[in-house]
């Protein structure tokens, strides 16, 4: 049962990823990426990481992608032609490099397979909110606070960079 679930989710994930990369319309790309993230949330559930699955949907799909869509709509980008049409040097090089990366990764995974364990049964409590909260506020308190500062800084930075220039012109 789980296997079938996994295969379905995996197919959806890969397909939506390919669609993100290859589609002409920018908005379509963004929406496919959202689909990708939701499928990944499903995979997380398969792995019994409940908290992260929900957070993935809430934060990534819900906030970050919305931000992306806002920017796309503000910028009013043109559709570009399908990239598969022109076979250019850059295209070929990109595919080659991608293949090389994939080959390397598969090799790495393959050489370690026999040393990897099966899904542990103790995992039942691992992905729960209590478990994460337990560790987050005790052992990882400092990174937690630092992340808060980081996000604040990012927000301020984004505001400063993207604001309208006319506001800063002296009258």
Give the footprint of another protein on residues 64-103 (CB under 8 A): 64, 67-68, 71-72, 74-75, 77, 80, 83, 90-91, 93-95, 97-102
Residue from 85, 108, 169, 171 in contact with another protein (CB under 8 A) = 108
Site string for another protein, 125-164 (x = CB under 8 A): -xx---xx--xx---x--x---x--xx-xxx-xxx-xx--
Q: Which two tokens stand for residue 90?
A: 């850059």
Least distance from C-beta 118 to another protein, angstroms?
6
Site string for another protein, 19-48 (x = CB under 8 A): -xx----x--xx--x--xx--x--xx-xxx
Residue from 85, 116, 138, 142 in contact with another protein (CB under 8 A) = 116
Q: Tell me whether residue 150 or residue 170 sits nearer to another protein (CB atom).
A: 150
């Amino acid at each position: 049962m789980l296997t079938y679930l996994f295969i379905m989710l995996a197919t959806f994930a890969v397909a939506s990823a390919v669609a993100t990369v290859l589609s002409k319309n920018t908005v379509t790309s963004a929406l496919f990426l959202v689909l990708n993230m939701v499928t990944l949330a499903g995979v997380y559930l398969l792995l019994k990481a409940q908290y992260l699955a929900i957070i993935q949907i809430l934060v990534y799909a819900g906030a970050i992608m919305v931000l992306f869509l806002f920017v796309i709509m503000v910028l009013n980008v043109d559709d570009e032609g399908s990239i598969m049409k022109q076979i250019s040097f850059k295209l070929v090089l990109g595919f080659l490099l991608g293949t090389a990366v994939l080959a390397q990764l598969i090799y790495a995974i393959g050489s370690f397979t026999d040393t990897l364990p099966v899904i542990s049964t103790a995992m039942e409590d691992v992905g729960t909110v209590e478990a994460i909260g337990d560790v987050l506020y005790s052992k990882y308190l400092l990174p937690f606070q630092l992340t808060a500062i980081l996000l604040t800084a990012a927000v301020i930075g984004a505001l400063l960079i993207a604001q309208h220039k006319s506001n800063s012109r002296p009258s």
